[in-house]
C-alpha cells in the first residue's frame, strides 16, 4: 500500500504536479465559497474563457503565458464589472456574449499555430504534470496573495456578500470590494488553468464549495471544509491519473464531483436521502 502511494513521487514532475494541484485546489475552493454564495458560477466560467485570447497571443509571441493570462484575466474582471453596471442589456446576456466571443477569439488565434491540437488541449484541459519550477513559484506567490486578501478582507467580503444593503449603510465601499473580489477570482482562475484547464476551472471553483455548503453552517467552516475537499480531490485525481492514465484535470474534477454527490445524498442537514428518512418522523 505504502509503495503504491509513494510510487508517483519517484518522478520530479509528479511531485511538482502534486504541489501545484493541491495548492490550486485549496485556493480555488476557498474563493469558490463566495462564488457559490453569490451565485456567480456563470461569471466564473465567462472569466475563465475570457482569459483564452490573452494566453493565445502569448503563445503566438512566445511570451510568458501566466503573465499574459493574469493581465487579460484582471482586465476581463474589471470589464465584466463595468458591463454589468450598464443597464442596456441584462447582465447574464452581456456575460454570455463576452464569454463566447473570447472563446472564439482565443481558438481563432491558437488555430493559426502549427502545433495547434496539443497546445489547445493543454489550455482547455490543463496539464498539471507539465508544471515547471517557475510556474510553481508563481502559483505559490499568487495563491498566498489570494489567501492573505481573503483573511484581511474577511468581514467586508462577508457583509458585502450577505447583505449589500447593510454594507452600503455601513459605508463599506461596495463597488470597490466587488471589483477586488472579481480580480481575486481572475487571479485564481489563472493559476488554476494550469492544472485543470479553461473548461474545468469552474468545477474547481464551484464543486468543493457547494459540497462544503451542504455540510457546514458558518462561512469560516465552509471555507475550511471546502479547502480540504479541493485538496483531497486533487490528490485523488492525480493518483487516478497516474495509475489509470486518465487526463489529470478531468480526474480531479471527477473526484470533487464524487465528494459532492456524497454530501448531496448524505448531508445531515441538507442531504436529500437523510431528509427523506427523517422528515416523515418529524411530522408525527
Partner 1 sequence: MNYNFKSMLHESDLKTHSVSGGLSHIEFENASIGYPGAIVLENINLKIPPGSQVAVVGPNGAGKSTLFKALVGLIPLLSGDIRVHGLSVASHHDCIAYIPQREEVDWKFPVTVRDVVAMGRFGKQGLFRRESKADKEIINEALHRLNIEELAAKPIGNLSGGQQQRAFLARAIAQQPHILILDEPFNGVDVNTHQVILNLLISMKLHDVTILVSTHDLNLAAEKFEKVILLNKKMIYFGDPEQAFTQDNLQIAFGKQILLLNNKQSILVDECCPTEDKVNQV
CB of 163 or CB of 175, closer to partner 1: 163
Q: Report the residue from 156, 208, 237, 271 that binds partner 1 according to the rule CB under 8 A.
A: 156
Residue corresponding to grid cell 468581514: 155
CB of 10 or CB of 155, closer to partner 1: 155
> From the centroid of its chain, how far is CA 236?
17
Task: From 21-29, 110-118, 131-139, 210-218, give the range in contact with partner 1 by CB under 8 A.
Answer: 210-218
75 touches partner 1 by CB under 8 A:
no
Q: Would you state the cell numbers that stand for residue 50, as one nine-digit string?
A: 475570457
Rounded Cα distance, 47 and 49, in Å: 5
179 touches partner 1 by CB under 8 A:
no
153 touches partner 1 by CB under 8 A:
yes
First vs last C-alpha separation in the chain: 49
**CA-closest candidate to residue 186, choices 35, 83, 84:** 35
Scored b (16 or more CB within 10 A) or e, 144-161 reads eebbebbeeeeebbbbbb
Q: What letter does residue 51 receive in the DSSP assignment?
A: T
Nearby residues of 147 by Cβ (< 8 Å), 6 or more positions away: 27, 30
Task: From 17-25, 62-70, 104-112, 156-164, give the range in contact with partner 1 by CB under 8 A.
Answer: 156-164
Task: From 10-18, 48-56, 163-171, 186-194, give the range in contact with partner 1 by CB under 8 A.
Answer: 163-171
CB of 167 or CB of 191, closer to partner 1: 167
Contact yes or no for 192/204 (Cβ under 8 A): yes
236 touches partner 1 by CB under 8 A:
no
Backbone angles phi, psi at 179, to 5 degrees: -60, -45
CB of 138 or CB of 159, closer to partner 1: 159
CB of 137 or CB of 170, closer to partner 1: 170
152 touches partner 1 by CB under 8 A:
yes
Q: Report the residue from 10, 155, 282, 284 that binds partner 1 according to the rule CB under 8 A.
A: 155
Residues near partner 1 (CB under 8 A) are: 37, 152-153, 155-156, 158-159, 161-163, 165-166, 168-172, 213, 216-219, 221-222
Amino acid at each position: 500500500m505504502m509503495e503504491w502511494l509513494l510510487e508517483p513521487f519517484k518522478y520530479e514532475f509528479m511531485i511538482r504536479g502534486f504541489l501545484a494541484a493541491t495548492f490550486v485546489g485549496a485556493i480555488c475552493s476557498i474563493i469558490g465559497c463566495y462564488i457559490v454564495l453569490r451565485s456567480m458560477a456563470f461569471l466564473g466560467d465567462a472569466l475563465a474563457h475570457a482569459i483564452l485570447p490573452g494566453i493565445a497571443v502569448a503563445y503566438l509571441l512566445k511570451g510568458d503565458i501566466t503573465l499574459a493570462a493574469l493581465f487579460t484575466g484582471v482586465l476581463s474582471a474589471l470589464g465584466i464589472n463595468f458591463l454589468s453596471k450598464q443597464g442596456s442589456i441584462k447582465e447574464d446576456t452581456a456575460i454570455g456574449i463576452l464569454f463566447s466571443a473570447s472563446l472564439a477569439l482565443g481558438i481563432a488565434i491558437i488555430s493559426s499555430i502549427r502545433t495547434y491540437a496539443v497546445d489547445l488541449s493543454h489550455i482547455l484541459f490543463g496539464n498539471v504534470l507539465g508544471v515547471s519550477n517557475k510556474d510553481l513559484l508563481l502559483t505559490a506567490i499568487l495563491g498566498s496573495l489570494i489567501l492573505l486578501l481573503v483573511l484581511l478582507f474577511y468581514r467586508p467580503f462577508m457583509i458585502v456578500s450577505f447583505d449589500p444593503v447593510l454594507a452600503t449603510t455601513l459605508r463599506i465601499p461596495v463597488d470597490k470590494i466587488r471589483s477586488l473580489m472579481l480580480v481575486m477570482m481572475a487571479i485564481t482562475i489563472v493559476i488554476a488553468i494550469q492544472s485543470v484547464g479553461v473548461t474545468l476551472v469552474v468545477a474547481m471553483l464551484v464543486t468543493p464549495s457547494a459540497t462544503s455548503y451542504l455540510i457546514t453552517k458558518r462561512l469560516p467552516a465552509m471555507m475550511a471544509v471546502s479547502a480540504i475537499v479541493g485538496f483531497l480531490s486533487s490528490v485523488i485525481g492525480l493518483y487516478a491519473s497516474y495509475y489509470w492514465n486518465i487526463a489529470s484535470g478531468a480526474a480531479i474534477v471527477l473526484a470533487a464531483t464524487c465528494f459532492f454527490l456524497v454530501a448531496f445524498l448524505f448531508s445531515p442537514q441538507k442531504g436529500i436521502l437523510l431528509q427523506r428518512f427523517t422528515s416523515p418522523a418529524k411530522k408525527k
